[in-house]
Chain A
Amino acid sequence: MIPVAIAAFGLLMVVVYLVGRPFVLPMRFAREASLEQLHADRERLRAQLRELDMDFETGKLAQEEYEKLRGRRLQQIEATTRSIRDAETTQQDVPTVGALAGQTGGASATNGEVDETTQEDLERELERRIAARKHVLEELEALACPGCGTTIDPEDRFCRKCGADLATAETR
């Protein structure tokens, strides 16, 4: 009976810990999550690029189509790479930038210590920059016809090449 009671109590504690931890110890995942998502996006784009190459090399895609799609993928990969680099540098810079920000903000920051409001400001700034990067990516995608991949103007209602209705197409 006693071992069972101990086991039950142990189980209960594990459950309480798993459920309660996020409330007690706030997890600062947001930034890593964005970065991780960017890495995942890039990996996904690269996989698409590889498949595209194979499609072309094995005769599953016409040359013209292939070049268009490949160009688009490369741009997307490059943009993601820049976003990642940007996010990573900013992350590494946090202490120094933080110190600077602390000084200019006139807060009680000495020797690189940053008070909480400044830290939050910085994180917000960082998130804003990541979001902006994502926005660029989305714009890049939006500037191609979802049907045939031809470059389009933002004002276009229909695709000049294939005539796809751009107004109803989802902008990703």
Chain B
Amino acid sequence: MTLLGNFALLLGLISAGYAVVVGLAGARSGREAPVRSAEGAMKAAAVSLSVAAVALIVLLLRKDFRVEYVAQYTSRDLDAFYTVGAFWAGQAGSLLLWAWTLALVGAGVIFQNRARNRDLMPWVTVTIGVVLVFFTVLVTFYANPFRTLPVAPADGQGLNPLLQNYGQWVHPIALYLGFVGFTVPFAFAVGALATGRLGDRWIRSVRRWALWAWVLLTAGILFGARWAYVELGWGGYWAWDPVENASLLPWLVGTAYLHSVVVQEKRGMLRVWNVALAVAAFAMSIFGTFLTRSGIISSVHAFAESSMGPLLIGFTFLTIVVGTALIVWRLPALRASGRIGSIVSREASFLLTNLLFVAMTIVVLWGTIYPIVSEAVKGVEVSVGQPFFNALMAPLAIITIALVGACPLLAWRRVSGRHLKRNFAMPLSIGATVFAALAVVNRGDHLLVITVLALGAYVLATVTAELYRGLSARHRHHGESWSRAILNLFAFTPRRYGGPIVHAGVVIMLAGIFFNIGMKQEVESQLAVGQSLRIAGYTVTFGDLIFEQTETKFALIGTFLVTGPNGEDLGTIRAEQAEYTGQQRVTEVGMRSTIGSDLYVVMNNVDPTQRIGTVLIFHEPGVFWIWTGMIVIVLGGMLAAWPWRTDRAGRDGLEELELPSAFEEPEVAR
């Protein structure tokens, strides 16, 4: 089976290499056969890598410990669900997953464009091919999951208990698909640059790919944050850890890209921005892979050091250099065909959005690489802590909320005073009312949190108004029933109205984060059974300590009784400290979640004989709203990216259009 795996990897590599070489020849000669053959080779690479992936899954399920990777990440007692999940638990498997999904995406793009965008396709194939060659080389020669051990151990080392969570099936996969997905806009941008077809066709062709990549990346980050929160026991969901930043960087650039392309589609402007952002989003996803996989930075994700760091960073630079060279070469043709007329217009607001996201990217990028740069230059490793990120990102986040509320209300080209008044009066007064009410209730304390909440209320009002305006327009002008109007609003203009929902989610999430950071409390103390701690009006009593022994772990379970401010019984929380056989000690967080706040209990250093342990309790307000916001973001993104069938519906009436009488069929120019 390892033989088959290696053979399939090699075949995948050869196919991808063939696709690059023959695709280039086809692109230069303009002949159809080599181009189609290169596309066939990409499909062949997808088939080969699928065989390699299946081979690895079979080896994992068979628990074939002669294979190093299987011995490292599984053990006899690991159930099938996590055994298959061990596929991407380590370096080699993760890279195989990268290459495999990329090959599948490549084959999907080729199938989708078998009769479209034929001018761009040779370059798209070559670009995806180059990336695929790179990752297949890494998997085949640097981190091969099919490498065998001279002697098979009796049992494997087992999967890290922290990874034994359903999140292992969602978080890494969603992130990888997101990373891989940004290859498609990049490939089409290269195609557009190489062929000089710089109109909006390439953007429209990859719109759905880019949206899905973004949705998956968002979902991946959401699950990662949630996973960290419920599993790691430090009471947080985001720590500006380099590996977290690795996923945030392509997300920020990708978000800028998704906004920026709208302007090119509508007004033909920001072309340089768009190709540059497509290149940058991809470069950031490779850079993210570098951060996670090179072992160059210390991180809670604790991945092994490896020799492929220089290759990954080299490839990132190659991407940037080639992208920049192509953009500079095409600069005269990329020049905007229009000009931003007014600073208060939709176009200007999109440009501002771009600048804001680029600023955030630079902050995160600098904070992430500064320790590396500092170590390289001064020889001292410094770590950039949360204060740096929080201090810089918080104002940017507040500006984001304000922009999210303002931009979608502006009209294209220029905005009239009447328009401004009509659109902004209601939301602004709602925001002001919320601000005043909260400030009075809190007697002027927590002003930052209150400002964010008021801005949030203002944005939610604009989103509601925007959706209502769209619905009533459909209802009035198209004579649709309200229910029909809701469906058609998303089906006909998915991005226009998926967007506001994403915005609502972003604002709910950010309000939750600011609320949480501003109001969070924690207490830590050594507690014996029977003793209690007070936090935020709650009393948490260490009720009992019991032992539980299963085949795989030995656990100490503490039950904590919660009583409310008026002495009412609010149930129990169960926290756990477990030792897995052959693995380190793990704490399981106990939690009581409500819409308003979470009580988060971690139990550590338990002494079972004295029935005593260190108990750490967090009162986490607003966390529910962080998850809610993130789910709304993902749902809104899915609404925007959904492949609605509008062709049939779109045909009605348009076939028999009344054209301006002056319009005659133009003579066919020869």
B4-A7 in contact (CB<8A): yes
User: What's the nearest-Cβ distance from chain A to residue B529, in Å?
Assistant: 59
User: Does B1 touch A at the CB level, under 8 Å?
Assistant: yes
Q: Number of A residues whose C-beta is below 8 Å from B?
A: 64
B47-A14 in contact (CB<8A): yes
A33-B118 in contact (CB<8A): yes
Given A19-B18, A33-B115, A75-B663, residue A11 in contact with residue B473 (CB < 8 A): no
Count contacts between A and B, CB distance < 8 Å: 170
A22-B660 in contact (CB<8A): no
User: Does B399 touch A at the CB level, under 8 Å?
Assistant: no
A19 to B22, CA, bound (A): 10
A129 to B650, CA, bound (A): 27
Scan A29-51; emit 1 where CB is below 8 A from any B CB, else 0. Answer: 11011011100100110111111
User: Does B36 touch A at the CB level, under 8 Å?
Assistant: yes
User: What's the nearest-Cβ distance from chain A to residue B281, in Å?
Assistant: 23
A43-B668 in contact (CB<8A): no
B37-A54 in contact (CB<8A): no
User: Does B40 touch A at the CB level, under 8 Å?
Assistant: yes
CB-nearest residue of chain B relative to A171?
Answer: B337
A65-B32 in contact (CB<8A): no
A170-B51 in contact (CB<8A): no
Scan A1-41; emit 1 where CB is below 8 A from any B CB, else 0. Answer: 00010011001101100111111001101101101110010
Contacts of B470 in A (CB 8 A): 54, 58
Contact of B115 among A37, A129, A133 (CB under 8 A): A37
A49 to B651, CA, bound (A): 12
Given A146-B337, A147-B337, A170-B337, residue A11 in contact with residue B116 (CB < 8 A): no
Instruction: Please choose the segment from B7-15, B187-195, B233-241 that sits at the chain A interface, where 4 or more of its residues have CB less than 8 A away.
Output: B7-15
User: Does B592 touch A at the CB level, under 8 Å?
Assistant: no
User: What's the nearest-Cβ distance from chain A to residue B648, in Å?
Assistant: 11
Q: Is the interface of B mostly helix, strand, loop or mixed?
A: helix
Contact of B116 among A40, A50, A60 (CB under 8 A): A40
Contact of B669 among A20, A135, A168 (CB under 8 A): A135
Interface residues in B410-425 (C-beta closer than 8 Å to A): 410-414, 419, 422-423
B669-A139 in contact (CB<8A): yes
CB-nearest residue of chain B relative to A32?
Answer: B115
A46 to B651, CA, bound (A): 9
Contacts of A58 in B (CB 8 A): 466, 469-470, 473
Given A14-B44, A75-B663, A77-B654, residue A57 in contact with residue B493 (CB < 8 A): no
A37-B116 in contact (CB<8A): yes
CB-nearest residue of chain A relative to B19?
Answer: A19
Scan A127-165; emit 1 where CB is below 8 A from any B CB, else 0. Answer: 001001101100110000011100000000000000010
User: Does A79 touch B at the CB level, under 8 Å?
Assistant: yes
A40 to B114, CA, bound (A): 13
User: Does B496 touch A at the CB level, under 8 Å?
Assistant: yes
User: What's the nearest-Cβ distance from chain B to residue A13, in Å?
Assistant: 11
A57-B473 in contact (CB<8A): yes
A7-B339 in contact (CB<8A): no
User: What's the nearest-Cβ distance from chain A to residue B503, in Å?
Assistant: 16
B668-A172 in contact (CB<8A): no
Contacts of A4 in B (CB 8 A): 1, 3-4
Q: Number of B residues whose C-beta is below 8 Å from A?
A: 73
Given A18-B47, A21-B40, residue A61 in contact with residue B657 (CB < 8 A): no
User: Does A82 touch B at the CB level, under 8 Å?
Assistant: yes
A29 to B118, CA, bound (A): 10
CB-nearest residue of chain A relative to B470?
Answer: A58
A19 to B14, CA, bound (A): 11
User: What's the nearest-Cβ distance from chain A to residue B423, in Å?
Assistant: 7
A78-B657 in contact (CB<8A): yes
Interface residues in B34-73 (C-beta closer than 8 Å to A): 34-37, 39-41, 43-44, 47-48, 51
B668-A133 in contact (CB<8A): yes
A55 to B262, CA, bound (A): 13
**B115, B198, B265, B419, most chain A CB atoms within 10 A:** B115
A53 to B657, CA, bound (A): 15
User: What's the nearest-Cβ distance from chain B to residue A138, in Å?
Assistant: 10
Contact of A132 among B423, B493, B650, B668 (CB under 8 A): B668
A12 to B39, CA, bound (A): 17
User: Does B548 touch A at the CB level, under 8 Å?
Assistant: no
A33 to B3, CA, bound (A): 41
B669-A51 in contact (CB<8A): no
B44-A78 in contact (CB<8A): no
A60-B36 in contact (CB<8A): no
A11-B47 in contact (CB<8A): yes
Contacts of B150 in A (CB 8 A): none
Contact of A77 among B18, B474, B476, B657 (CB under 8 A): B657
Given A133-B668, A136-B669, residue A61 in contact with residue B411 (CB < 8 A): yes
Contact of A170 among B11, B114, B333 (CB under 8 A): B333
Contacts of A50 in B (CB 8 A): 492-493, 650
Contact of A78 among B338, B419, B422, B659 (CB under 8 A): B659
User: Does B444 touch A at the CB level, under 8 Å?
Assistant: no
User: Does A71 touch B at the CB level, under 8 Å?
Assistant: yes
User: Does A119 touch B at the CB level, under 8 Å?
Assistant: no
Contacts of A75 in B (CB 8 A): 659-660, 663
A51-B496 in contact (CB<8A): yes
A59-B3 in contact (CB<8A): no
A29 to B37, CA, bound (A): 13
Given A4-B3, A29-B32, A54-B473, residue A59 in contact with residue B419 (CB < 8 A): yes
Pull 9 A–B residue pairs with CB atoms less than 8 Å apart, ordered by A: A18-B44, A19-B40, A21-B37, A47-B492, A54-B496, A60-B411, A75-B659, A75-B660, A170-B333
Other than the given A21-B37, A62-B413, 15 more pairs (CB < 8 A) read A15-B11, A19-B40, A22-B35, A27-B32, A33-B115, A37-B116, A50-B650, A59-B422, A60-B412, A61-B412, A62-B414, A65-B413, A82-B665, A164-B338, A170-B335
**A-B pairs, 7 with minimum CB distance:** A22-B36, A146-B337, A57-B473, A36-B115, A18-B40, A15-B44, A147-B338
